[in-house]
Structure 1
Amino acid sequence: MSLREKAISGAKWSAASMISIVSVQFLQVAILAHLLRPGELGLASMVSLVTTLADMFLDMGLSTAIVQRKNVAANELSSLYWLNVLFGAVLGGLLLAGSGLAAWFFSEPELKALVGLAALMFFVSPHGLLYQSLMARELMFDMLSKIEVASSMVLFITTLVAALRGYGAYSPVIGALTAAVCRVVLLNLNGRKLHKPGLRLRFSETRSYLSFGVFQAMDSMVNYLNVNFGGIVAGRALGAATLGGYNLALNCAVNFPARLNPFFTRVLFPVFSIIQDDIAKLRQNYYKLTGFIAMFNFPLVFGLMVVAPDFVVCMFGEKWLWATPVLRVLCLVGAFRCIGNPVASLMMATANIRVSFWFNLTKTTAMLPAIIVGAYLGGALGVAISLLTVEAMMLLPMYRFMLKRVLGPSFGEFCNACFVPLRMTIPMVASVLVVSELLDASSMGHVLKLVTEVTLGAVVFGVTFLLDRSLLCAEIRGIVFKMVRKAALRHGLQ
């Protein structure tokens, strides 16, 4: 199988798993929004902020370094395995010790017990990280996808049962801990075929990986602040209930679309690593990837922006309707973020992680004061507007200091990768906007109105996609039609 065929096959499996996982996660969030009180949902969001921060340092970028390296010795893998376990134990201990500090920072005493329970995940998760990296390195995305789907189902079922039994803010933590155990067991059952770690830990064998991984971990830390600092400020300054609504909007407009993108970037990272010395091929594939991601994300985020009021009422309930303006602004943030999403894979694959780190640090430095000012002047909406302002301002510098450095002068290709999906989304947005103004939710109900808007948007975008003559759409249509033909032949159809 050629590298292209492996990439397409990997993308197919990753797409299926990511769509399944994000669908389950969205359903979980929607159910919790109805079952939990706003304050309880805010507490769960605070726990997520704390554990996500710790997770940035779980393996110090070692997993990424393993995939990026062309050759890794067996003794190095053993040392890396136990180093991951060591990092996890240290992080888990720090979370247990610092749970009181988190409770003080957010002025929520109950947060101490919640963070202490969540800390147990860091004693479990590292035992699967090496196997996940090795399976990604071997492009075994079919098995990884099955493991991720199984873990997400365990997470959903456990969380739902705990919520129904009245565990409140503890429900997502219980679900996450159970899912972590499931994931580690499945990764060990399948990953040990690739490597069985011995009882060996030599820091000298991990030094070169850490030199790469430290910057990757620092870059992830900066990205964490880019994504989550608004939530930190909202939780600290505005309280748990406001944080709950802000996080609902952030998840729908930014986080959930971003979680779908790895079915492109996760597969293309090892591919980029293989072709990193061929700049022309690297540039061609990178901008193709950017166009694919924008084509996938733009209809979601711009469509959500138009139907936001009906969406919020149907999915989360009228008690969250106040978050609709926040959701609309964050949809624009999600559009900018999807354009920059593939940059991380490109910079890691070409060993330019330090450039990525310094750029993201500059972006974060500009974002932090903007968010603080936005929160105190405009509440949750002010935070969202601040995020949007910084994202828009940093788009051209991202091209100038990152893409041009690695891919060479290619501004026309960069603009084309963004413009074609935007051009195709405009007819969909215009038609849904007109129909949304004509329909009356009070007479037909929010559910029927939302179904009508979504159906119309899907039809208009589908027709536009089929008729568009751009090379990007032609290639996507070719891939889709080829997959359909193969599926038809497997089932004996012509």
Structure 2
Amino acid sequence: MMKQLIGGMKWTGSATIINTGMQLLQYVILGRLLAKSDFGLMGMVTVIIAFAQVFTDMGVGNAIVHRQNASNKQLSTLYWLNVITGATVALIVFLTAPLVAGFYDEPRLIELIHLIALIFCIIPFGQQFQFIMQKNLEFDRIAKTEITSVVLGVCLAIILAFSGAGVYALVFGQIAFHTIKSILYGFQGWSTFRPSFYFNLREVKEFLSFGVYQMGSRSVSYFSSNVDYILIGRFLGAEALGIYTIAYQLVVVPVTKINPLITRVAFPLFAKVQNSDQSLSKGFTDMSKMLAVITFPILFGLMCTADILVPVMFGDKWEASIPLVQILSALGLLRVLMNPNGSILLAKGRADIGFKWDLGVASIHALAFYLIVHLGVEAVAITYVILALINFLLGRILLHYVIGLNGREYFLGLSKPALFSVIMALFVYGVYLLLSFIHFPTLIIPLVVLILLGAAAYFALFYYFDKHYLMELKSLMKKKQS
């Protein structure tokens, strides 16, 4: 399994690096051109996009990956059901725009939401082909499609921002991204699987029953992940949400973009060995360590360099985001480790457990954030970290119940990436304190020095104390190439 994981990661890794870089570039440029309230408005719209997307495939996309013997008739029925559902979601989003704008007391949201509604008519035409490619482990085609879509969408957003489009630059960038991605997936998928004009819901009952739990789990998961945005926007306003959004995106981008580097590959692989708990436990432990090796140094690095990273990337007007970046980096560490849980539950066909779990988490988040939001965005961020820590610990107990996860081996696998990242962060912060006594013409110079020293220190620690793991990864990469 490790070989296939590495092989799939090559393509998803390339896509992740390029997509993450392009999206960070978008935030860096637009952060200097747009107002804080523009990012706050887009944060409100993003909640709607995330929530509505849950329903566009009726939750059956992962069911297609999970079930290994779907017929062409079943896939055709699911395809047209997806199209119908997408059009319905678009209509609902369009009609509820005044209600959402009233909730936030932001009349400007109405037109933005009307534009965003177009996305949900477009997504279904290519979405199922993406899941079929994922099931067939065609990660090269997926990666090329994702890269093309992100690059063109970001380029359009930047061009519109320079033209003075304001928040519409972000909106049209999103529309372009989803449109291009859907067209490319549809063009590629249509050549290998052409949906027939066949529709029979009785033949896809098992997909829909799986999908109901998956859709429910996604909806409460998205609500849980976005309730902070909702309440900050409602009670603290667009500008406060804009400050929070910049910090959240800077921290969450590595998590949400790097995690699929492994988890997108892992789910179809886990699905193929779903009857072997031992294989799933070992695969999950290996995957978690790999995620930690990649993301821990990034997130610890964000903590110790936020004081100069935020001004360099976004400008001095975003200095209020610095403490949020440091707090939310701890959240990022926990989300890195929590996200793969879903791959295991889906592979085992236990979407019902995922739904119940996420429902409980969403309820607790909503109540906690509602009680604390009046204290400000930093209080919300700290609360988020505390809840994430509790969720993480309980999640390990859940996986022990589902697949017999060996807790000792799991935490032992995480220990070295965590320890090396902490040592690296302390070293980098010490150098930062020394550099603060030196006058530099620009903050870019000390930032580059800190990043290079941090990367060198982390690699040196791994090479000296865990060289075997690096050699193992290198060997697997070479075997996959041959």
Runs of 4+ in structure 1 off by over 3 angstroms are: 3-7, 481-487
Q: Please state how far the C-alpha of 1:194 moved relative to its aligned partner.
A: 2.7
Per the alignment, residue 492 of structure 1 pairs with: none
SS at match of 2:17: helix
- Say whether residues 1:413 and 2:429 are aligned partners: no
Q: Deviations over 1:321-379 (max 9, x none)?
A: 011111111000000111111101011011111112212222222221211222112x1
Q: Which protein, 1 or 2, shows the higher relative CO under an 8 Å CA cutoff with sep ≥ 6? A: 2
Whether 2:48 is the aligned partner of 1:54: answer no
Please name the residue that 1:453 is paired with. Answer: 450
Q: Please report how far the alpha carbon of residue 61 of structure 1 lies from its aligned counterpart in structure 2 after TM superposition.
A: 1.2
* DSSP 3-state at the match of 2:439: helix
Question: Hey, what does 2:368 align to over in structure 1?
Answer: 370
Bigger mean CA deviation after superposition, 291-300 or 256-265: 256-265
Structure 1 unaligned regions, length at least 5? 490-494
Does the CA-based 8 Å contact 1:40-1:169 persist in structure 2?
Answer: yes
CA distance in 1, matches of 2:223, 2:35: 27
- How far does the alpha carbon of each residue in 1:33-58 deviate from its partner, in whole angstroms, 9 at most, with x for none? 11101111211121111111111111
Once residues 163 and 428 of structure 1 are traced to their aligned partners in structure 2, the CA distance between those partners, rounded to angstroms, is 37
Deviations 1:408-466 (A, max 9, x none): 15121221133221012122011001111111277213211211111110010010111
User: Using the alignment, how far apart are the partners of 1:367 and 1:127 within structure 2?
Assistant: 34
Indicate which of 240, 243, 267 corresponds to 1:242.
240
Aligned to 2:353: 355
Q: Relative to 1, partners in 2 of residues 1:166 and 1:257: Cα closer, same or farther, differing over 3 Å?
A: same
Distance 1:418 1:225 in 2: 29
| Conservation of the 8 A alpha-carbon contact between 2:463 and 2:470 | no
| Structure 2 Cα separation of the partners of residues 55 and 296 of structure 1 | 28
Secondary structure (helix, strand or coil) at the match of 1:307 reads: helix
Residue 261 and residue 72 in structure 1: after superposition, are their counterparts in 2 closer, same or farther (change >3 A)? same
User: What is the alpha-carbon distance in structure 2 between the residues aligned to residue 74 and residue 98 of structure 1?
Assistant: 36
TM-score, with structure 1 as normaliser = 0.94
Q: Identity, % of aligned pairs?
A: 30
1:216–1:442 distance in 2 versus 1, CA, 3 Å: farther
2:83–2:121 CA contact under 8 A, matched in 1: yes
Counterpart amino acid of residue 42 in structure 2: A
For residue 96 of structure 2, give the secondary structure of its aligned residue in structure 1.
helix
User: Counterpart amino acid of 1:425?
Assistant: S
Deviation at 1:5, TM superposition (A): 4.0
Q: 2:61 corresponds to which residue?
A: 63
Normalised by the length of structure 2, the TM-score is 0.96
Residue 94 of structure 2 corresponds to: 96
Aligned match of 1:117: 115
Q: Is the 8 A contact 1:99 1:112 kept in 2?
A: yes
Alignment of 1:386-405 (within 5 A): 386-400=383-397, 402-405=398-401
Partners of 1:314 and 1:447 within 8 A in 2: yes
Q: 1:12 offset after TM fit, Å?
A: 0.7
Match of 2:430 in 1: 434
1:285 equivalent in structure 2: 283
Aligned equivalent of 1:423, options 414, 419, 423:
419
Structure 1 residue identity aligned to 2:473: I
Note if 1:266 corresponds to 2:264.
yes
Structure 2: runs of 5+ lacking an equivalent: none
TM-superposed deviation, 1:112: 0.2
- From the superposition, tell whether residues 61 and 436 of structure 1 become closer, same or farther in structure 2 (CA, over 3 Å): same
Alpha-carbon distance in 2 for matches of 1:432, 1:421: 16
Q: Does residue 465 of the first structure (1) align with residue 462 of the second (2)?
A: yes
Partner residue, 2:38: 40
Q: CA deviation at 1:398?
A: 1.0
C-alpha distance in structure 1 between counterparts of 2:228 and 2:350, whole Å? 28
Give, as a single letter, the amino acid of the residue that structure 1 aligns with 2:365. Answer: M
Mapped contact 1:374–1:385 kept (Cα < 8 A): no
Contact 2:312-2:444 within 8 A present in 1 as well? yes
